[in-house]
């Protein structure tokens, strides 16, 4: 497992040096800026599958990671959550990569997505209008420059924002793309990507 982890990290590290990349999740504690009905585990899993299908349909390389994140950071309503996320690489160098991640972050009610440009600059970008959502506090598109990306020996991928950990504790050994899928799988992903998450 350690060898797989290190191999996966080496691949991801190499790709992030050659292409834009970012991270995104569809997991959320509750609806309406964490003030509404809680999402069930099944709902979060379904939303995550829909997000993955949309990322693949867009032609991006997708690797599943397990992360720790704090929703509503620096507010009275902040909560630390462990969530299934995706490390996304713009392997085709699509011009709309950054905007697509922001749009999907908004669609799945995320506080933010991360984005790394080809120069290696790494940002946290707000994707909702929640008043307590960091870093936008009500505005979409607010960017905060992150610290240096670190790829650790034990599969840890993390950065820090003002001392707040943004951590990926586990990285999958596979990266998925539509090029690796059969025709029937591609059709299934395309149809699944048309679904919109339930409010």
Q: Please say whether the dihedral angle defined by the alpha carbons of residues 132, 115, 143 and 96, taken in this order, is positive or negative.
A: negative
Model pLDDT for residues 92-105, shown as the tens digit of each residue: 999 999 999 999 99
- Only one residue has tokens 């032609």, namely 59
Give tens-digit pLDDT for 47-72: 999 999 999 999 999 888 776 666 66
pLDDT-above-70 percentage for the chain:
67
How far is residue 98's CA from residue 108's CA, in Å, rounded to a whole number?
16
Give the domain ranges of the chain.
2-70+78-97+149-193
75: which DSSP letter?
Answer: S
The three-state secondary structure class of 145 is strand
Sheet holding 122-126, edge to edge: 143-145, 122-126, 112-116, 21-25, 79-89, 61-71, 164-171, 157-161, 150-151
Confidence check: pLDDT of 81 > 80: no
Cα torsion angle, 80, 41, 141, 59, sign = positive
pTM > 0.75: yes or no:
yes
More confident: 60 or 153? 60
């Amino acid at each position: 497992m350690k060898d797989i982890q290190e191999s996966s990290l080496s691949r991801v590290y190499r790709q992030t040096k050659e292409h834009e990349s970012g991270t995104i999740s569809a997991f959320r504690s509750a609806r309406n800026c964490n003030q509404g009905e809680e999402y069930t585990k099944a709902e979060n899993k379904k939303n995550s599958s829909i997000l993955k299908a949309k990322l693949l349909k867009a032609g991006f390389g997708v690797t599943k990671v397990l992360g720790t994140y704090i929703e509503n950071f620096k507010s009275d309503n902040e909560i630390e959550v462990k969530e299934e996320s995706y490390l996304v690489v713009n392997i085709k160098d699509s011009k709309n990569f950054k905007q697509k991640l922001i749009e999907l972050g908004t669609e799945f009610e995320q506080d933010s997505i991360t984005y790394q440009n080809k120069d290696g600059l790494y940002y946290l970008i707000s994707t909702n209008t929640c008043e307590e959502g960091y870093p936008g506090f009500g505005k979409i598109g607010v960017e905060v420059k992150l610290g240096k990306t670190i790829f650790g020996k034990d599969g840890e991928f993390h950065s820090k924002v003002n001392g707040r950990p943004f951590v990926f504790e586990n990285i999958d050994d596979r990266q998925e793309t539509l090029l690796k899928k059969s025709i029937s799988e591609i059709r299934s992903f395309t149809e699944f990507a048309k679904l919109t998450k339930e409010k």
